[in-house]
Structure 1
Amino acid sequence: MITRVTHQSAQRTSLANLQANLTKMSTLQAQASSGKVINKASDDPAKAAEAMALRKEQRAADQYARNTQDGLSWLTTVDTAITSSVNFMQRARDLVVQGANTGSLNREAREAVAVELEGIRDALLGQANTTYIGRSVFAGSSNGPAFAADGTATPTFGPVERRIGAATTVRVDADGTAVYGSGATSVFALLDDVAARLRDPADNVSDALSQIDDRIRSMLSVASSVGARTNQLTSAQATLSSQSLSLKSDLSGVEDIDLAQTIIELQMQEVAYQAALGATARVLQPSLMDYLQ
């Protein structure tokens, strides 16, 4: 049995093939110009879903990286303030040792030591109210300064934390009362008391040395905790940087074209399209009279 192929069916077949070739060539041109395999979800739904999932992970990793950098800035500010405070306290200790030598200092010399201690007290209050981008690093999540002018700590509402992973948060501030004390037990009250006692020639302030040493140890203890958290954030930063590069590579593998391969395919498709144009032209060429003959 011989299958009958009409001129009209041959035209439809040729035009359909021509359109298919043109569509494929258009797709390759879009990929070559954009550099992406997927220009819309319908191009490859499975790969589009994979790319969306990778982009979601990438956005999360980028946010964690920003949180980590912000946390490092907070902790660096805290560490600098505590280091400066320890230095001030060491100077205060030297002055107390000097002031305890009652037989070698006259009234004017003791007054000078007292005035310097009061200056150190004010400098420590400034360190205790250190801020980062307008937020006190020793006041927790509360607004305003960590300490009032009289050295009393203001109420706090909780620690400042930064999320650096799906299930990991790190505290980036420090408890001001752990560093400086508060009220009558604060370092400010201690230095005020020593300065007042120095103005009494009969008073020996040597007993204040142990209190100063206790406060220095408290400061160093908090500084050690800050250092540990800084190391944690530094490690997380390195991990997130590596993760970000890995996600970029994975996304590129899903979305990006092989440029050389795409150009070759485009050239081949252009040749096929030109051939299809020639074949279609021949099919459409006969007239009605040619067909009737």
Structure 2
Amino acid sequence: MVTVSTSAFYERANRQISSLRKESEKLQEQVGSRERLSRSSDDPLAAAKLRSLSRRERMTEIDQRNSDRAKTSLSLADSALSSVTSSIIRARDLALQAGSSTLTLENQKAIATELEVLRDNLLGLANTRDGEGESLFGGAIAGPAYVETAGVVSYVGNASAQVTGLGDGQSVERSVTGPDVFSFNGPSGATDIFAVLGAFSAALNVGGAGVAAAADAALASLDPALEKATTAQTVVGTRMAWVETMDDRRVASEEMIAQERETVGGADFAITYARLQEMMTVLEASQASFVKLSGLSLFDQLR
């Protein structure tokens, strides 16, 4: 009978100590990870909720990458448009100079040369690409927005700007199309900045009595050209602000997800640590009692 009781004592003690060790290890893990659940079986409903939160987090990460790309493209477009408006303003200044009757043919040709440089610069800006090599002003195409053939610049993009999703069913166009920047209605009808500068430069190279009229015509076209470019810059700025607004919403959503995750599966550090200390105390006491009791032999009990 003593043998059976001793065997049962050892078995019960081992089970108790093993259980205490597992519980203390679980608490130590919770203290380290700050998470209450280590397995789905610990709390199936909470685990399902955490999986749903993880899916939302992954979607948020995708939305943030899209937002970053949109911001990069819009920032590049904004910078390009700033250069476009500066070039048009400079062209307007040159038109005012060219209208002076005191200019020599050499002066007029010098202005024509600068206008040609401005035209080439504007063509380069019109074909600006984003960080992934896509045209900023060509709509939904990968190639250049404009091509020049025999001195004539033509738009070869399309009318649909690149669109990027920002989450929550919202999206943004990453730029504007070329005609929204470089084409406008001048005194003689529809035209673009390339045609205006080309015609004005050609008139200056010829010289003569027609220069003054060419300068007046250029001024009459450059004003609506500048208005068109600045309007496009305003549109891009508005879209940049919209992306920032969506970023703010996303940050708020991330904070809510983090808070919800903490509520559902988080382990309160202070409470968990206190429980761990309590469990370690019980475990140490149980181990000490086991050692002390297991040291008692049958002869000690018979004395």
TM-score of the superposition, structure 1-length normalised? 0.84
Residues 86, 220 of structure 1: 8 Å contact kept? yes
2:52 alignment partner in structure 1: 53
One-letter code aligned to 2:61: D
2:107 alignment partner in structure 1: 109
Other structure's SS at 1:138 match: coil
Moved more, 111-120 or 146-155: 146-155
- List runs of 5+ in structure 2 lacking aligned partners: 185-189
Partners of 2:26 and 2:114 lie apart in 1 by: 79
Q: Pick closer, same or farther for the CA change 1:197–1:71 going to 2, 3 Å.
A: same
Partners of 1:16 and 1:66 lie apart in 2 by: 52
Residues 37, 47 of structure 2: 8 Å contact kept? yes
One-letter code aligned to 2:144: P
2:187 alignment partner in structure 1: none
Choose the corresponding residue for 2:119, options 121, 130, 134.
121
Choose the corresponding residue for 1:154, options 131, 134, 156.
156
1:135 alignment partner in structure 2: 134
What is the CA distance between 1:64 and its match in structure 2? Answer: 1.8
Other structure's SS at 1:145 match: coil
Partners of 1:230 and 1:16 lie apart in 2 by: 64
Q: Tell whether 2:275 aligns with 1:265.
A: yes
RMSD in angstroms over aligned alpha carbons?
2.8
Choose the corresponding residue for 2:202, options 186, 196, 209.
196
Residues paired across the two proteins, number: 283
Partners of 1:86 and 1:93 lie apart in 2 by: 10
Q: Tell whether 2:189 aligns with 1:187.
A: no
What is the CA distance between 1:121 and its match in structure 2? Answer: 0.7
1:66 alignment partner in structure 2: 65
Partners of 1:17 and 1:126 lie apart in 2 by: 79
Residues 158, 177 of structure 2: 8 Å contact kept? no
What is the CA distance between 1:15 and its match in structure 2? Answer: 4.9
User: Residues 1-293 of structure 1: matches in 2 within 5 Å?
Assistant: 7=5, 15-101=14-100, 103-133=101-131, 134-149=133-148, 150-156=152-158, 158-181=160-183, 185-198=191-204, 199-203=206-210, 204-205=213-214, 206-277=216-287, 278=289, 282=293
Q: Relative CO higher for 1 or 2, CA cutoff 8 Å, sep ≥ 6?
A: 1
Partners of 1:26 and 1:86 lie apart in 2 by: 67
Q: Deviations along 1:93-136, whole A, 9 cap, x unmatched? A: 122222233x3222212211211111111111111111221222
Other structure's SS at 1:148 match: strand
Other structure's SS at 1:136 match: coil
One-letter code aligned to 2:110: A
Partners of 1:33 and 1:99 lie apart in 2 by: 76
- List runs of 5+ in structure 1 lacking aligned partners: 1-5
Other structure's SS at 1:271 match: helix
